[in-house]
A and B are shown apart, each in its own frame.
Chain A
């Protein structure tokens, strides 16, 4: 059964590889000469740039929040998770409006300086960097916060006792000690950046994922698209192995049984004020301002009568799809995660690892594979919701799997063995002993999957059945026509519908091991 599920998830990738390598390979040389240098530079520099900026932003916010006591700390503690509720393409469309030629920001800048002053175009590396940073730094924040919270103060005290300054202590002791958390969050951020489609395409920044989508939509060139996908997946896999290797290399142990965590230091009034001002600016840029604009646009769209009954259908479609995909992911993921954590034979672990392939498979690639597969092999299902749900499963099951795996690992196998010794069969043990114990973890996994599916764009665009528009698709259609007001209501709805999920996720104390917060 596990084999079947893993097969279902890896088959599309195999199909992409197959179609990339069969047929006319002269196209590959052409691609190498024309597109690749630019795509490689853009993708790598964006991933690197966003890594550095999110690291700075995420670690510093987490540090201040865990180490200092100031007015408003309780709010900021979970407030910095809010940007996760905004899909990257919504943030991108808000920023194209703000930073565009003669947009509000440029006008303000000209008013401040001189009338001919220009600001950098959002359709550039800078634009993509800003949007992706604001959108992904909460991952770093979440993991760094957890690491700082579980941090043993003795190491820092030892450093300071031997004469290290506070800066030295931070950079040479504190930071290296939370390295596993940093690596795990970088892993998330980089995979997010390279597989993002919505933001880079609205900002017209050519990365691999965007180029693949263009190959599928702008020309009839599936082979080039498949070749590009293959390359992207190879890079991503290399990255995944590097991360795993690193994780196995660095294990940190407590030297004594007693762990003392830091107590937040009280701040002076001025310090507290300064912290609040900086935090307002950060969260304002990543969440407050975009949401305010969305509300304003929604109101004016409402007044003009552009918000019709059709929205009920879009909400229904989005919720229907996401709920079914999340449920199916749990149903399919449970045997994989269960077998691999309880009976870790090579086969079972391989099945689990196989399912993780979807992690590195960006939306357009998974969609491409399914498009080719279903239209040629199982045409009867093509153009149905089923294909879309399979695409979601392939892409997002890994995120759910990680949450499920860590929930299962926290259940002591002795309990299950006891049940079995008393004569209960495998399934019954699972239902009566294991499931009640992991219910919380599984609910979190379900929420996470639901949230991810709500925000999914490229696969939905390519595979949606006729007349089956979701909220994300509506945002995309209106935003790419620059109809900001019409794109705002569905965008605001997505944000509102995902905030509860994001809030619950922020309450969990994430560990570097379960890098599933994507």
Chain B
């Protein structure tokens, strides 16, 4: 009899045991993940599409034996995450697809200067933060993609020309929440002033109508199929399309090249060293690799972007970077212009 009662007693603690057990598993999971941060490893927060960055990091992992842990999300989203995490962040480096996010992170004191001596010799000054908290790794240019059967390119000299009523119903633009559109408009704002950017945004909004696309690739597709005559995109989408389909009736057009003009709008993808990192030397190792010619080739060429390291030639299918002029507005200004330009884009009701 006693025995049975004892067994019953044991049974009564079952719910407690199960709760305890699940919490133990939970904590084990928690500790397990925390543990991963230790050791010869570098934690990368990346706003760059995983298919573009993963092969490069895999190569680094293979050649150096340093474990790379990757968290992919939106560039701005990661700035927010870094800020929310504060001193507890596990991130060692932050890779973003545009300078605006990097500069935003620097302004929030989330980054620290990269003290590698090679930075000054490899990365031209306009493409890095004044204190080297972040450096650009690859450049992308805003180009107009036009259908060669529908557009005479000699009629377009500036991006601002696209806002004229002549292009009504013929233009495709990126959607309002695209960081590229925000950065591009920011540079126009800085170069030409508030009136000009308002007219530009209003004009392209009216001309594009429903032809607003979430992806640059779709804009190039639409132009190639003749659905629209032209569109604004990052250059590599045009060249990627041409690489797949060399006969497509599309061509790139670099604008604003006139003497004293704004210059083509350029942005960089880059990397920053987090203020909280405890793995400065491994992080430096990764940054050094990404600046080196093999790293630059992998990082930029995988997406047909322009390597920032001048010693590394750009993809032969691209127009050489010496053949055009880019905007002289410092990329560091993108951060301070971000909020005003989002407000303006929202106010004008771009989709």
Which A residues lie at the B interface, using CB under 8 A? 34-35, 100-102, 121, 123, 204, 214, 216-220, 320, 324, 327-328, 331-332, 334, 371-372, 375, 379-386, 389, 425, 427-428, 430-432, 461, 464-468, 477, 481-483, 486
CB distance from B34 to the nearest CB of A (A): 7
Contact A102 B227, beta carbon cutoff 8 Å: yes
Contact A219 B339, beta carbon cutoff 8 Å: yes
Report A-chain residues with C-beta under 8 Å of the C-beta of B184: none
Chain A CB within 8 A of B217 CB? yes
Chain A CB within 8 A of B244 CB? no
Given A217-B77, A466-B90, A481-B49, does the pair A101, B26 have CB atoms closer than 8 Å? no
Contact A384 B29, beta carbon cutoff 8 Å: yes
Besides the contacts A217-B73, A383-B90, A384-B29, what 18 more A-B pairs have beta carbons closer than 8 Å? A204-B214, A217-B80, A219-B76, A219-B339, A328-B19, A328-B22, A331-B15, A381-B30, A427-B12, A431-B15, A432-B8, A432-B11, A465-B33, A467-B33, A467-B36, A481-B49, A481-B51, A483-B51
| Chain B window 66-100, contacts with chain A (Cβ cutoff 8 Å), 1 for yes, 0 for no | 00011111101101100111111011000000000
Chain A CB within 8 A of B14 CB? yes
14 interchain pairs, CB-CB under 8 A:
A34-B346, A34-B347, A204-B214, A217-B76, A324-B26, A328-B22, A375-B85, A383-B88, A384-B33, A431-B11, A432-B8, A466-B43, A481-B51, A486-B51
Chain A CB within 8 A of B323 CB? no
Chain A CB within 8 A of B218 CB? yes
Contact A428 B29, beta carbon cutoff 8 Å: no
Report the Cα distance A174→B109, complex, angstroms: 66
Report A-chain residues with C-beta under 8 Å of the C-beta of B51: 481, 483, 486
CB distance from B37 to the nearest CB of A (A): 8
Residue of B nearest to A332 (CB): B19
The CB with the most chain B CB atoms within 10 A, among A101, A216, A324, A481, is that of: A101
Contact B218 A100, beta carbon cutoff 8 Å: yes
Report A-chain residues with C-beta under 8 Å of the C-beta of B108: 220
CB distance from A317 to the nearest CB of B (A): 10
CB distance from A281 to the nearest CB of B (A): 28
Residue of B nearest to A213 (CB): B77
Report the Cα distance A331→B16, complex, angstroms: 9
The CB with the most chain A CB atoms within 10 A, among B49, B214, B339, B346, is that of: B214
Residue of A nearest to B69 (CB): A467
User: Would you call the interface of chain A mostly helix, strand, loop, or mixed?
Assistant: helix
**Which A-B residue pairs are the 10 nearest by beta carbons?**
A384-B30, A217-B77, A385-B29, A465-B33, A375-B84, A331-B19, A466-B71, A379-B88, A467-B69, A427-B12
Chain A CB within 8 A of B175 CB? yes
Q: Contact check: which of B18, B26, B37, B77 meets A385 at CB < 8 Å? A: B26
Contact B88 A386, beta carbon cutoff 8 Å: no
Report A-chain residues with C-beta under 8 Å of the C-beta of B80: 216-217, 220
Given A214-B177, A483-B51, does the pair A327, B22 have CB atoms closer than 8 Å? yes
Contact B12 A467, beta carbon cutoff 8 Å: no
Contact B84 A371, beta carbon cutoff 8 Å: yes
Which B residues lie at the A interface, using CB under 8 A? 8, 11-12, 14-15, 18-19, 22-23, 25-27, 29-30, 33-34, 36-37, 43, 49-51, 69-74, 76-77, 79-80, 83-88, 90-91, 108, 175, 177, 210, 212, 214-215, 217-218, 221-222, 225, 227, 339, 342, 346-347
Report B-chain residues with C-beta under 8 Å of the C-beta of A204: 175, 214
Contact B30 A218, beta carbon cutoff 8 Å: no
Given A371-B84, A428-B8, does the pair A327, B29 have CB atoms closer than 8 Å? no
Report the Cα distance A379→B15, complex, angstroms: 30
Report the Cα distance A196→B221, complex, angstroms: 30
Report A-chain residues with C-beta under 8 Å of the C-beta of B23: 328
Report A-chain residues with C-beta under 8 Å of the C-beta of B34: 384
Residue of B nearest to A331 (CB): B19
Given A102-B227, A324-B26, does the pair A123, B214 have CB atoms closer than 8 Å? yes
Given A381-B30, A384-B34, does the pair A428, B12 have CB atoms closer than 8 Å? yes
Residue of B nearest to A432 (CB): B11
Report the Cα distance A379→B88, complex, angstroms: 7
Report the Cα distance A427→B17, complex, angstroms: 13
Given A204-B175, A327-B22, A384-B30, does the pair A102, B221 have CB atoms closer than 8 Å? yes
Contact B30 A375, beta carbon cutoff 8 Å: no
Report the Cα distance A386→B177, complex, angstroms: 32
Given A121-B210, A204-B175, A375-B88, does the pair A383, B33 have CB atoms closer than 8 Å? yes
Report the Cα distance A464→B217, complex, angstroms: 29
Report A-chain residues with C-beta under 8 Å of the C-beta of B26: 324, 328, 385-386, 389
CB distance from B279 to the nearest CB of A (A): 13
Report the Cα distance A477→B52, complex, angstroms: 13
Residue of A nearest to B20 (CB): A331
Given A101-B227, A467-B69, does the pair A218, B36 have CB atoms closer than 8 Å? no
Report the Cα distance A380→B347, complex, angstroms: 41
Residue of A nearest to B31 (CB): A384
Report the Cα distance A490→B87, complex, angstroms: 34
CB distance from A450 to the nearest CB of B (A): 14
CB distance from A493 to the nearest CB of B (A): 18
Contact B77 A218, beta carbon cutoff 8 Å: yes
Residue of A nearest to B71 (CB): A466
Report B-chain residues with C-beta under 8 Å of the C-beta of A467: 33, 36, 69-71
Residue of A nearest to B87 (CB): A379
Given A217-B76, A220-B83, A467-B70, does the pair A386, B12 have CB atoms closer than 8 Å? no
Report the Cα distance A382→B26, complex, angstroms: 13
Report the Cα distance A425→B9, complex, angstroms: 10
Contact B85 A219, beta carbon cutoff 8 Å: no
CB distance from B212 to the nearest CB of A (A): 8
Report B-chain residues with C-beta under 8 Å of the C-beta of A486: 51
Report B-chain residues with C-beta under 8 Å of the C-beta of A371: 84
Contact B86 A379, beta carbon cutoff 8 Å: yes
Contact B218 A101, beta carbon cutoff 8 Å: yes
Report B-chain residues with C-beta under 8 Å of the C-beta of A379: 85-88
CB distance from A92 to the nearest CB of B (A): 12
Report A-chain residues with C-beta under 8 Å of the C-beta of B177: 214, 218
Report A-chain residues with C-beta under 8 Å of the C-beta of B210: 121
CB distance from B31 to the nearest CB of A (A): 8
